[in-house]
Protein backbone atom coordinates (compact mmCIF):
# COMPACT_ATOMS: atom_id res chain seq x y z
CA UNK A 1 0.00 0.00 0.00
CA UNK A 2 2.67 2.44 1.11
CA UNK A 3 4.80 1.39 -1.81
CA UNK A 4 1.98 2.02 -4.24
CA UNK A 5 1.51 5.50 -2.82
CA UNK A 6 5.21 6.10 -3.11
CA UNK A 7 5.24 4.98 -6.72
CA UNK A 8 2.24 7.13 -7.47
CA UNK A 9 3.95 10.09 -5.82
CA UNK A 10 7.08 9.48 -7.82
CA UNK A 11 5.12 9.28 -11.03
CA UNK A 12 3.25 12.42 -10.21
CA UNK A 13 6.36 14.40 -9.35
CA UNK A 14 8.20 13.16 -12.37
CA UNK A 15 5.37 14.18 -14.69
CA UNK A 16 5.08 17.51 -12.90
CA UNK A 17 8.83 18.16 -13.10
CA UNK A 18 8.84 17.23 -16.74
CA UNK A 19 5.99 19.64 -17.40
CA UNK A 20 7.77 22.44 -15.53
CA UNK A 21 11.05 21.80 -17.31
CA UNK A 22 9.28 22.05 -20.66
CA UNK A 23 7.49 25.20 -19.56
CA UNK A 24 10.84 26.71 -18.54
CA UNK A 25 12.43 25.84 -21.86
CA UNK A 26 9.52 27.33 -23.75
CA UNK A 27 9.58 30.49 -21.70
CA UNK A 28 13.34 30.84 -22.05
CA UNK A 29 13.18 30.70 -25.82
CA UNK A 30 10.24 33.11 -25.84
CA UNK A 31 12.19 35.51 -23.67
CA UNK A 32 15.27 35.23 -25.87
CA UNK A 33 13.10 35.94 -28.91
CA UNK A 34 11.38 38.78 -27.03
CA UNK A 35 14.75 40.39 -26.33
CA UNK A 36 15.82 40.05 -29.97
CA UNK A 37 12.50 41.35 -31.29
CA UNK A 38 12.32 44.43 -29.10
CA UNK A 39 9.58 43.24 -26.72
CA UNK A 40 11.49 44.45 -23.64
CA UNK A 41 11.11 48.00 -22.43
CA UNK A 42 11.87 50.13 -19.41
CA UNK A 43 9.45 51.99 -17.19
CA UNK A 44 10.64 54.69 -14.83
CA UNK A 45 9.58 55.29 -11.25
CA UNK A 46 10.48 58.71 -9.83
CA UNK A 47 12.08 59.19 -6.41
CA UNK A 48 11.07 62.32 -4.52
CA UNK A 49 13.06 64.29 -1.97
CA UNK A 50 11.47 64.28 1.49
CA UNK A 51 12.82 67.80 2.00
CA UNK A 52 11.73 69.59 -1.17
CA UNK A 53 9.15 67.17 -2.54
CA UNK A 54 10.87 67.41 -5.93
CA UNK A 55 11.92 64.60 -8.25
CA UNK A 56 15.57 63.81 -7.50
CA UNK A 57 15.98 60.49 -9.26
CA UNK A 58 14.21 57.57 -10.90
CA UNK A 59 14.59 53.82 -11.14
CA UNK A 60 14.48 52.03 -14.49
CA UNK A 61 12.27 48.93 -14.20
CA UNK A 62 12.13 46.22 -16.81
CA UNK A 63 8.89 45.16 -18.53
CA UNK A 64 8.19 42.51 -21.18
CA UNK A 65 5.49 43.36 -23.65
CA UNK A 66 4.50 39.80 -24.53
CA UNK A 67 2.54 39.39 -27.79
CA UNK A 68 -0.07 37.18 -26.05
CA UNK A 69 0.19 37.87 -22.32
CA UNK A 70 0.49 41.65 -22.42
CA UNK A 71 2.76 43.50 -20.00
CA UNK A 72 4.67 40.94 -17.91
CA UNK A 73 6.32 42.17 -14.68
CA UNK A 74 9.98 41.29 -14.02
CA UNK A 75 9.13 39.04 -11.07
CA UNK A 76 7.68 36.60 -13.62
CA UNK A 77 10.73 36.27 -15.87
CA UNK A 78 13.88 37.57 -14.14
CA UNK A 79 14.29 34.52 -11.87
CA UNK A 80 14.28 32.28 -14.96
CA UNK A 81 16.64 34.64 -16.80
CA UNK A 82 19.00 34.47 -13.82
CA UNK A 83 18.87 30.68 -13.77
CA UNK A 84 19.63 30.33 -17.45
CA UNK A 85 22.18 33.13 -17.70
CA UNK A 86 20.02 35.03 -20.16
CA UNK A 87 20.09 37.85 -17.58
CA UNK A 88 23.56 38.74 -18.91
CA UNK A 89 22.18 39.67 -22.34
CA UNK A 90 19.10 41.25 -20.79
CA UNK A 91 21.19 43.21 -18.30
CA UNK A 92 23.43 44.51 -21.09
CA UNK A 93 20.32 45.60 -22.97
CA UNK A 94 18.90 47.37 -19.88
CA UNK A 95 22.14 49.31 -19.31
CA UNK A 96 22.32 50.39 -22.92
CA UNK A 97 18.62 51.23 -23.21
CA UNK A 98 18.64 53.36 -20.04
CA UNK A 99 21.71 55.27 -21.29
CA UNK A 100 20.19 55.69 -24.75
CA UNK A 101 17.04 57.11 -23.16
CA UNK A 102 18.97 59.49 -20.87
CA UNK A 103 21.00 60.78 -23.83
CA UNK A 104 17.79 61.24 -25.83
CA UNK A 105 16.24 63.26 -23.00
CA UNK A 106 19.38 65.37 -22.67
CA UNK A 107 19.42 66.12 -26.38
CA UNK A 108 15.88 67.46 -26.05
CA UNK A 109 17.10 69.77 -23.28
CA UNK A 110 15.34 67.87 -20.52
CA UNK A 111 16.97 68.09 -17.07
CA UNK A 112 16.56 64.45 -16.09
CA UNK A 113 17.70 63.36 -12.63
CA UNK A 114 20.09 60.41 -12.19
CA UNK A 115 18.57 57.12 -13.31
CA UNK A 116 19.12 53.99 -11.23
CA UNK A 117 19.67 50.70 -13.07
CA UNK A 118 19.14 47.31 -11.42
CA UNK A 119 21.98 44.81 -11.71
CA UNK A 120 21.78 41.08 -11.27
CA UNK A 121 24.65 39.69 -9.19
CA UNK A 122 25.51 37.59 -12.23
CA UNK A 123 26.45 40.77 -14.08
CA UNK A 124 28.84 41.77 -11.34
CA UNK A 125 32.22 40.58 -12.58
CA UNK A 126 35.55 42.31 -13.22
CA UNK A 127 34.47 43.26 -16.77
CA UNK A 128 31.55 45.30 -15.43
CA UNK A 129 33.30 48.66 -14.82
CA UNK A 130 34.79 48.60 -18.33
CA UNK A 131 31.41 47.72 -19.86
CA UNK A 132 29.65 50.50 -17.97
CA UNK A 133 32.32 53.00 -19.02
CA UNK A 134 31.99 51.90 -22.65
CA UNK A 135 28.22 52.49 -22.65
CA UNK A 136 28.58 55.87 -20.91
CA UNK A 137 31.16 56.87 -23.53
CA UNK A 138 29.03 55.60 -26.38
CA UNK A 139 26.21 57.95 -25.33
CA UNK A 140 28.43 60.79 -24.11
CA UNK A 141 27.12 60.58 -20.54
CA UNK A 142 28.90 61.49 -17.32
CA UNK A 143 28.98 58.81 -14.60
CA UNK A 144 26.71 60.90 -12.33
CA UNK A 145 23.84 60.38 -14.80
CA UNK A 146 23.37 56.79 -13.60
CA UNK A 147 23.34 54.80 -10.38
CA UNK A 148 23.61 51.04 -10.06
CA UNK A 149 21.31 49.12 -7.72
CA UNK A 150 22.76 45.90 -6.33
CA UNK A 151 21.32 43.47 -3.81
CA UNK A 152 22.65 41.77 -0.72
CA UNK A 153 22.92 38.42 -2.54
CA UNK A 154 26.03 39.89 -4.14
CA UNK A 155 27.65 40.59 -0.79
CA UNK A 156 27.56 36.95 0.32
CA UNK A 157 30.32 36.24 -2.21
CA UNK A 158 32.58 37.98 0.26
CA UNK A 159 34.33 41.33 0.37
CA UNK A 160 37.54 40.29 -1.39
CA UNK A 161 35.49 39.31 -4.45
CA UNK A 162 33.26 42.34 -4.80
CA UNK A 163 35.07 45.28 -3.17
CA UNK A 164 37.64 45.78 -5.96
CA UNK A 165 34.85 45.94 -8.56
CA UNK A 166 32.79 48.29 -6.41
CA UNK A 167 35.83 50.51 -5.82
CA UNK A 168 36.46 50.70 -9.53
CA UNK A 169 32.88 51.81 -10.18
CA UNK A 170 33.03 54.31 -7.33
CA UNK A 171 36.33 55.69 -8.68
CA UNK A 172 34.65 56.14 -12.06
CA UNK A 173 32.03 58.25 -10.28
CA UNK A 174 29.15 55.77 -10.53
CA UNK A 175 27.11 55.66 -7.31
CA UNK A 176 26.07 52.29 -5.88
CA UNK A 177 22.79 51.69 -4.08
CA UNK A 178 22.09 48.66 -1.92
CA UNK A 179 18.57 47.55 -2.87
CA UNK A 180 15.99 45.75 -0.72
CA UNK A 181 18.09 46.44 2.36
CA UNK A 182 17.27 44.27 5.35
CA UNK A 183 15.92 41.29 3.43
CA UNK A 184 19.23 39.54 2.75
CA UNK A 185 22.24 38.32 4.67
CA UNK A 186 24.59 41.27 4.64
CA UNK A 187 26.23 41.65 8.01
CA UNK A 188 26.53 45.09 9.48
CA UNK A 189 30.26 44.57 9.89
CA UNK A 190 30.58 44.13 6.12
CA UNK A 191 28.43 47.09 5.29
CA UNK A 192 30.94 49.75 6.25
CA UNK A 193 33.58 48.15 4.03
CA UNK A 194 31.61 48.55 0.83
CA UNK A 195 31.68 51.86 -1.08
CA UNK A 196 27.89 52.11 -1.14
CA UNK A 197 26.41 55.61 -1.36
CA UNK A 198 22.72 54.77 -0.96
CA UNK A 199 20.66 52.33 1.10
CA UNK A 200 17.15 51.44 -0.01
CA UNK A 201 14.89 50.28 2.84
CA UNK A 202 12.87 47.37 1.56
CA UNK A 203 9.12 47.72 1.16
CA UNK A 204 8.49 44.91 3.65
CA UNK A 205 9.61 47.25 6.49
CA UNK A 206 7.66 50.21 5.12
CA UNK A 207 4.31 48.44 4.87
CA UNK A 208 3.78 48.33 8.66
CA UNK A 209 4.65 51.98 9.33
CA UNK A 210 3.64 53.65 11.56
CA UNK A 211 1.35 51.10 13.23
CA UNK A 212 3.72 48.13 13.69
CA UNK A 213 6.23 48.80 16.47
CA UNK A 214 8.76 46.33 15.08
CA UNK A 215 8.75 47.89 11.63
CA UNK A 216 9.15 51.33 13.20
CA UNK A 217 12.15 50.13 15.20
CA UNK A 218 13.76 48.53 12.14
CA UNK A 219 13.17 51.58 9.94
CA UNK A 220 14.59 53.85 12.66
CA UNK A 221 17.66 51.63 13.09
CA UNK A 222 18.33 51.50 9.33
CA UNK A 223 17.99 55.28 8.92
CA UNK A 224 20.22 55.96 11.94
CA UNK A 225 22.87 53.56 10.69
CA UNK A 226 22.81 55.00 7.16
CA UNK A 227 23.22 58.48 8.56
CA UNK A 228 26.23 57.38 10.61
CA UNK A 229 27.74 55.77 7.51
CA UNK A 230 26.93 58.95 5.52
CA UNK A 231 24.77 57.02 3.10
CA UNK A 232 21.74 58.46 1.42
CA UNK A 233 18.57 56.63 2.34
CA UNK A 234 15.60 55.85 0.11
CA UNK A 235 12.38 54.22 1.32
CA UNK A 236 10.77 51.82 -1.19
CA UNK A 237 7.11 51.10 -1.64
CA UNK A 238 5.69 54.08 0.24
CA UNK A 239 1.94 54.05 -0.34
CA UNK A 240 0.41 56.23 2.38
CA UNK A 241 0.82 59.75 3.74
CA UNK A 242 1.25 58.25 7.22
CA UNK A 243 4.21 56.14 6.08
CA UNK A 244 5.71 59.23 4.44
CA UNK A 245 5.27 61.37 7.55
CA UNK A 246 6.93 58.75 9.74
CA UNK A 247 9.91 58.30 7.39
CA UNK A 248 10.31 62.04 7.03
CA UNK A 249 10.34 62.35 10.81
CA UNK A 250 13.18 59.82 10.96
CA UNK A 251 15.23 61.92 8.55
CA UNK A 252 14.93 59.58 5.56
CA UNK A 253 16.11 61.41 2.40
CA UNK A 254 13.94 60.10 -0.41
CA UNK A 255 10.75 58.26 -1.10
CA UNK A 256 9.83 55.93 -3.94
CA UNK A 257 6.35 54.47 -4.05
CA UNK A 258 2.81 54.57 -5.33
CA UNK A 259 2.03 57.50 -3.01
CA UNK A 260 4.06 59.69 -5.37
CA UNK A 261 3.95 57.64 -8.58
CA UNK A 262 4.00 54.06 -9.86
CA UNK A 263 6.58 53.16 -12.53
CA UNK A 264 5.45 54.83 -15.78
CA UNK A 265 6.44 54.80 -19.46
CA UNK A 266 9.42 56.94 -20.49
CA UNK A 267 7.28 59.72 -22.02
CA UNK A 268 5.08 59.97 -18.95
CA UNK A 269 8.15 60.24 -16.75
CA UNK A 270 9.59 62.98 -18.97
CA UNK A 271 6.27 64.82 -18.65
CA UNK A 272 6.50 64.69 -14.83
CA UNK A 273 9.99 66.18 -15.00
CA UNK A 274 8.84 68.91 -17.40
CA UNK A 275 5.90 69.77 -15.13
CA UNK A 276 8.18 69.59 -12.07
CA UNK A 277 5.67 67.36 -10.31
CA UNK A 278 6.06 67.57 -6.53
CA UNK A 279 5.31 65.23 -3.69
CA UNK A 280 2.81 66.87 -1.33
CA UNK A 281 4.72 66.83 1.96
CA UNK A 282 1.62 67.81 3.94
P1 LIG B 1 13.19 46.52 -6.96
O2 LIG B 1 14.46 46.89 -7.62
O3 LIG B 1 13.18 46.49 -5.48
O4 LIG B 1 12.11 47.53 -7.54
C5 LIG B 1 11.04 48.05 -6.80
C6 LIG B 1 9.77 47.28 -7.07
O7 LIG B 1 8.75 47.74 -6.17
C8 LIG B 1 9.20 47.48 -8.48
O9 LIG B 1 8.56 46.29 -8.86
C10 LIG B 1 8.16 48.58 -8.24
O11 LIG B 1 7.13 48.60 -9.21
C12 LIG B 1 7.61 48.15 -6.90
N13 LIG B 1 6.99 49.26 -6.18
C14 LIG B 1 7.38 50.55 -6.14
N15 LIG B 1 6.60 51.29 -5.35
C16 LIG B 1 5.66 50.45 -4.86
C17 LIG B 1 4.54 50.62 -3.96
O18 LIG B 1 4.27 51.71 -3.45
N19 LIG B 1 3.81 49.51 -3.67
C20 LIG B 1 4.09 48.29 -4.22
N21 LIG B 1 3.30 47.28 -3.90
N22 LIG B 1 5.14 48.10 -5.06
C23 LIG B 1 5.91 49.16 -5.37
P24 LIG B 1 8.77 45.64 -10.31
O25 LIG B 1 8.89 46.70 -11.34
O26 LIG B 1 7.75 44.57 -10.47
O27 LIG B 1 10.22 44.98 -10.16
C28 LIG B 1 10.44 43.91 -9.28
C29 LIG B 1 11.89 43.57 -9.16
O30 LIG B 1 12.41 43.06 -10.40
C31 LIG B 1 12.78 44.77 -8.83
O32 LIG B 1 12.69 45.07 -7.46
C33 LIG B 1 14.13 44.24 -9.25
O34 LIG B 1 14.67 43.42 -8.25
C35 LIG B 1 13.77 43.39 -10.45
N36 LIG B 1 14.09 44.17 -11.66
C37 LIG B 1 13.33 45.10 -12.30
N38 LIG B 1 13.98 45.58 -13.38
C39 LIG B 1 15.17 44.93 -13.43
C40 LIG B 1 16.30 44.99 -14.32
O41 LIG B 1 16.37 45.78 -15.27
N42 LIG B 1 17.34 44.15 -14.04
C43 LIG B 1 17.35 43.30 -12.97
N44 LIG B 1 18.41 42.51 -12.77
N45 LIG B 1 16.31 43.25 -12.10
C46 LIG B 1 15.23 44.04 -12.34
MG1 LIG C 1 15.84 48.31 -7.50
MG1 LIG D 1 14.22 47.52 -4.26
MG1 LIG E 1 12.24 45.51 -3.47
The residue whose CB lies within 8 Å of the most ligand 1 atoms, and thus the one to mutate among 79, 236, 240, 279, is 236
Question: Would you state the pLDDT for residue 174?
Answer: 98
Quote the CA–CA distance of 272 and 93 in Å, as a whole number. Answer: 25
Do 88 and 122 contact (CB within 8 A), yes or no? yes
Question: Would you state the pLDDT for residue 138?
Answer: 98
Number of the ligand 1 atom closest to the C-alpha atom of 120: 44
Q: Is the pTM of this model over 0.90?
A: yes
What is the residue-level pLDDT of the chain in tens, covering all 282 positions? 444 455 556 666 688 888 888 888 999 999 999 999 999 999 999 999 999 999 999 999 999 999 999 999 999 999 999 999 999 999 999 999 999 999 999 999 999 999 999 999 999 999 999 999 999 999 999 999 999 999 988 888 888 889 999 999 999 999 999 999 888 776 677 788 899 999 999 999 999 999 999 999 999 999 999 999 999 999 999 999 999 999 999 999 999 999 999 999 999 999 999 999 999 998
User: Which CA distances in Å does 212 have to 141, 218, 248?
Assistant: 43, 10, 17
183's CB contacts (< 8 A; 6+ apart) are 152, 202, 204
Q: What is the CA radius of gyration of the chain?
A: 21
Number of the ligand 1 atom closest to the C-alpha atom of 74: 30
Q: Bridge-partner residues for 46, per DSSP?
A: 58
In this structure, which ligand is nearest to the CA of 149?
A: 2
Question: Would you state the pLDDT for residue 9?
Answer: 60
105's CB contacts (< 8 A; 6+ apart) are 112, 270
Q: Is 62 in the pocket of ligand 1 (CB under 6 A)?
A: yes
Q: What are phi and psi of 240, to 5 degrees?
A: -125, 155
Question: Would you state the pLDDT for residue 186?
Answer: 66
Question: Would you state the pLDDT for residue 159?
Answer: 83
Question: Would you state the pLDDT for residue 23?
Answer: 87
Q: Bridge-partner residues for 178, per DSSP?
A: 150, 199
Amino acid sequence: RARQEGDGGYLFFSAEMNRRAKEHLRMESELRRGLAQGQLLLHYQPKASLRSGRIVGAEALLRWRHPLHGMVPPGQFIPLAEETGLILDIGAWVLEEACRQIAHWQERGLKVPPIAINLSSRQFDHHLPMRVQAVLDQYGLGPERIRLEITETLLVRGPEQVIPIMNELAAMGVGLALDDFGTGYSSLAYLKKFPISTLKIDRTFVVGLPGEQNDCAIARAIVTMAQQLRQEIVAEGVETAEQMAFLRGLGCDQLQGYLFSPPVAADAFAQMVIEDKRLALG
